[in-house]
Structure 1
Amino acid sequence: MAFAALSSGVSGLTAFTEGIGIISDNIVNVNTVGYKETRSRFTTLVTETQSTTRFSPGGVAARAQTLISEQGLLRSTASQTDLGVDGAGFFVVRAAPSANSPDGEIQFTRAGNFTPDSAGFLKNTAGNFLLGFPIDSQGNIPTNIGDLNTLEPINVSGLTGTAEATSEVSLRANLQSSLTATTTGGSGVGGVVAQGDLADGTIPPDFAQTITVFDSQGSSQGLTLAAVKTGTNTFRFEIFAQDPTAINVAETPPGLVMSGEINFNSDGSLASFNQEFPNAVLINPANGQQISPTANLNFAGGASTETVTFNFGRAGDNDGITQFDSTSTLISSNVNGAVFGNVIGTNISEDGVVTALFDNGLSRDVFQLPVATFPNPDGLTRLQGNAFGVSDNSGNFSVVLPGTGGAGTIAPSTLEASTVDLAEEFADLIVTQRSFSASTRIISAADEVLEELVRI
């Protein structure tokens, strides 16, 4: 029995030594961003016996439990790239920029103190690279966000001096309804207004306005939007290059991009578009549907051919091109594409959209941050650098967009504080140290008993 008491005391020394180590780790990480407190959980060691009249001492064992799911306090900072997760979920990171490197395994962290390194990659103080889904020039992310192979290290420095070609033009304009219809003088049969008559100057337009588009090399070109009334609630509408030697040079007439007839309802709202060039098609959707013809821009300067969508508005609505008895005018136009300057900063929204800011006042969405969630985050494996890895206890992860699927949102210019309560840790340290001392007394008492037995 004395030997059993001795073993019980030794188990206490081992368990409470581990407990002091856990508390020490918590204390030294009280200022570590995103650190999750670990608690000592003690459990009995029971030696089974068949006797009901005798007791066999067992001992105690320590079990460490990291409270990973506990939310830390979010503190504001002055850096746009300091990030916190407000709610459940983790940032997806790698210890190396490439997935093919030895350290390229996916990891998860709440430590969002990211800063650009010398190559422009966003890394936290542990050296982990922040990963995100690239956003293309149309603002789309990969459709299968569960495929981790589409994740890339976030880097915006490579965008300096880049260009984005125009792919979409949205128009809001009014064409005056009381204009006199032009029915003669055109190149069509009987002198009617025909395709290309506005582009080559055969018929003077009732309305003309120039907008600027961009090619894939960043060069700007002018497109003229022109219209002439040809009948009741009908206008011929053409789009052509301001410089016929720059765009669609081979067309007839040179520079012609689009030609057709816009039809309006009796209330002045857009009804349909009967496109003649570049494709003969009648766009006549139900009310509320977009009228969006497309055309190719063949740039003469060596840039690639771009297919551009022209949004005229919704059928039966007044959100695009309309016909009212007020002066014909271009109310607004929204043209994407641009030539970007030097990157001067990065902005990250609560939705996790990373936006590059340029010195010429432009901005561009370049990455979408995902958030990884787990069925049991407290079961994750602790890794170097305040990161975590998947384990059998955590379950498999789900990669979702911030604020969806139970995931928290991104808190920009914010860092999550350590969840360690310093006062509680010091109190636990005193109790654990006293428990350690008590275990040494058990060993001393057992030693005295054994000494008496030897003397007998």
Structure 2
Amino acid sequence: MSLMGAINSAISALYAQSQALSNISDNLANSETTAYKSTDTSFSSLVAGSGSSSSGGVTATTSSNITEQGLLVASSSSTDLAIEGDGFFVVSNDTDGGQTYYTRNGEFEVDEDGYLVNDGYYLMGWATDSEGDVIGGTSESSLVAIDIDSVKSSVDATSEVSFQANLPADAAVGDSFETTFEVYDSLGTSSTVSVTWTKTAENTWSMEVGDPELSSSGETIGTSSTDIIEIVFNDDGTLASTDPSPAEFSITGWTTGAADSTISLDLGTVGSADGLSQYASDDTDPDIEIQQITQDGLAYGSLTSIEISDDGSVTAFFDNGEERVIYKIPVATFANANGLTELSDGVYARSSASGNSTLHEAGEGGAGTINGGWLEASTTDTSEEFSSMLSAQQAYSASSQIMSTASDMFDTLLDAVR
């Protein structure tokens, strides 16, 4: 190797170690960046010429281990997300289905328009129906920007009322008691319905349902059927029968404009005391003891919060007690994820090296699970980076010393010629 060969090798080493230091600098700068994937520098030897005149050198190549799993760290925000395992979130730079990108950075927040967004990238998902099933298939063309504000509460008319109560066995025949329960019409209007319980014979009671009234004003807003329900108990206090069976009543003529209602009354299991029972109250003034009355209707509600489960289901919670899955967040995988093109903000674009994405429901088909309320930490190991920095510094200094020595040798040669 000639002096020029030595200088060429030293120059290539200076460039390669500069590149290594640049990568180290990036890694350290992003040691606290969510889902940042550290880059490595690989060195390869160069040989120019042949035989005794051949000279060497080095080249540096930067590689990013995009598939490396970072540590999951708990977050205080339910919209922060982390993938545990393989895969990426699908994001777009436009709510109307613009260019598709991929990221592991799950620092999403709800913007002023109700979209889940991170640094201008909108989280994409599949819309679901009332049963939580994906609408329109699980392809990329079915993805939409997740819009929390677009989700509205549903209303449900009351279709069943369940009773857990004890009718006093020591009540006198002809004694009557009154209780109330709440029902909703098909438009979500709440009203109060009264029930008159009358002991008509030993172990026998009648149940008569009143008209629905507004709780606030007492205004009657519908007409209940006037059929009286007969309830018979066994001599051990358990329910023997109801007539009709099953017990039910109807409400017609809602002044709210709602559809007519038919409401079944769950009074318990025959031969059991899991609903209505008849036991002595041991009270000088016996009364009905209500343990619980429940109904399945819902008023219109406002969204209070969302929760994201490990299968990517986005569940909305409303202040009326309703909860339902509104979106499914997919996980995108690639045949060669390390071939993705890296962009700013922890975002990647697919390339010919990575191939096209395959979308999965989280936790299926080799895709990772989604953790709501967690974030993936940077994969930078600061102690390792400092060690690499010292190595790069030493190699850079040695290469610069070679150039200085070669320069001195050239000066010696020139002096000999003079």
Letter in 2 for 1:438: A
**What is the aligned partner in structure 2 of residue 153 from structure 1?**
145
CA distance in 2, matches of 1:43, 1:332: 77
Question: How far is 1:404 from its partner?
Answer: 0.4
Aligned partner (choices 69, 73, 78) of residue 80 of structure 1: 78
CA distance in 1, matches of 2:42, 2:101: 26
- Per-residue CA distance 1:358-410 (angstroms, 9 max, x = gap): 23332222111111111222222111111111122223221101110011111
Question: How far is 1:165 from its partner?
Answer: 5.8
Q: Against the structure 1 CA distance between its residues 36 and 361, is the aligned structure 2 distance closer, same or farther, given a 3 Å change threshold?
A: same
3-state SS of paired residue (1:404): coil
Alignment of 1:35-50 (within 5 A): 35-49=36-50
Q: Against the structure 1 CA distance between its residues 214 and 351, is the aligned structure 2 distance closer, same or farther, given a 3 Å change threshold?
A: farther
Structure 1 unmatched runs, 5+: 174-209, 229-234, 248-299, 311-319
Matched, 1:242 2:250: yes
Aligned partner (choices 391, 411, 414) of residue 451 of structure 1: 411
Which one has a bigger Cα radius of gyration?
2
**What is the aligned partner in structure 2 of residue 420 from structure 1?**
380
3-state SS of paired residue (2:251): coil
**What is the aligned partner in structure 2 of residue 185 from structure 1?**
none
**What is the aligned partner in structure 2 of residue 297 from structure 1?**
none
Structure 2 unmatched runs, 5+: 164-180, 192-211, 213-223, 230-242, 277-291
CA distance in 1, matches of 2:129, 2:380: 41
CA distance in 1, matches of 2:400, 2:122: 47
CA distance in 1, matches of 2:294, 2:321: 18
> Would you say the 8 A contact 1:159–1:340 is kept in 2?
no
Q: What is the RMSD of the two structures over their aligned residues, measured on CA atoms?
A: 4.0
Question: How far is 1:240 from its partner?
Answer: 9.1
Q: Against the structure 1 CA distance between its residues 142 and 45, is the aligned structure 2 distance closer, same or farther, given a 3 Å change threshold?
A: farther
CA distance in 1, matches of 2:392, 2:339: 25
**What is the aligned partner in structure 2 of residue 33 from structure 1?**
34
Aligned partner (choices 110, 113, 126) of residue 133 of structure 1: 126
Aligned partner (choices 297, 304, 319) of residue 344 of structure 1: 304
Q: Which moved more, 1:5-14 or 1:25-34?
A: 5-14
Q: How many residues align?
A: 343
> Would you say the 8 A contact 1:40–1:65 is kept in 2?
yes
Q: Against the structure 1 CA distance between its residues 437 and 3, is the aligned structure 2 distance closer, same or farther, given a 3 Å change threshold?
A: same
Letter in 2 for 1:127: G
Question: How far is 1:123 from its partner?
Answer: 1.8
Question: How far is 1:150 from its partner?
Answer: 1.8
Q: Against the structure 1 CA distance between its residues 237 and 220, is the aligned structure 2 distance closer, same or farther, given a 3 Å change threshold?
A: farther
CA distance in 2, matches of 1:170, 1:17: 75
Alignment of 1:161-180 (within 5 A): 162-164=153-155
Aligned partner (choices 57, 67, 70) of residue 68 of structure 2: 70
> Would you say the 8 A contact 1:169–1:333 is kept in 2?
no
- With normalisation by structure 1, the TM-score equals 0.64
> Would you say the 8 A contact 1:346–1:357 is kept in 2?
yes
3-state SS of paired residue (2:42): strand
Letter in 2 for 1:415: L
CA distance in 2, matches of 1:114, 1:130: 8
> Would you say the 8 A contact 2:183–2:295 is kept in 1?
no
Aligned partner (choices 401, 406, 409) of residue 361 of structure 2: 401
CA distance in 2, matches of 1:302, 1:36: 57
Question: How far is 1:245 from its partner?
Answer: 3.4
> Would you say the 8 A contact 2:36–2:346 is kept in 1?
yes
> Would you say the 8 A contact 2:332–2:357 is kept in 1?
yes
Matched, 1:384 2:375: no
**What is the aligned partner in structure 2 of residue 372 from structure 1?**
332
Letter in 2 for 1:85: I
Question: How far is 1:2 from its partner?
Answer: 2.2
CA distance in 2, matches of 1:19, 1:169: 70
**What is the aligned partner in structure 1 of residue 57 from structure 2?**
59
> Would you say the 8 A contact 1:246–1:301 is kept in 2?
yes
Question: How far is 1:157 from its partner?
Answer: 2.3
**What is the aligned partner in structure 2 of residue 429 from structure 1?**
389
3-state SS of paired residue (1:63): strand
Q: Against the structure 1 CA distance between its residues 443 and 82, is the aligned structure 2 distance closer, same or farther, given a 3 Å change threshold?
A: same
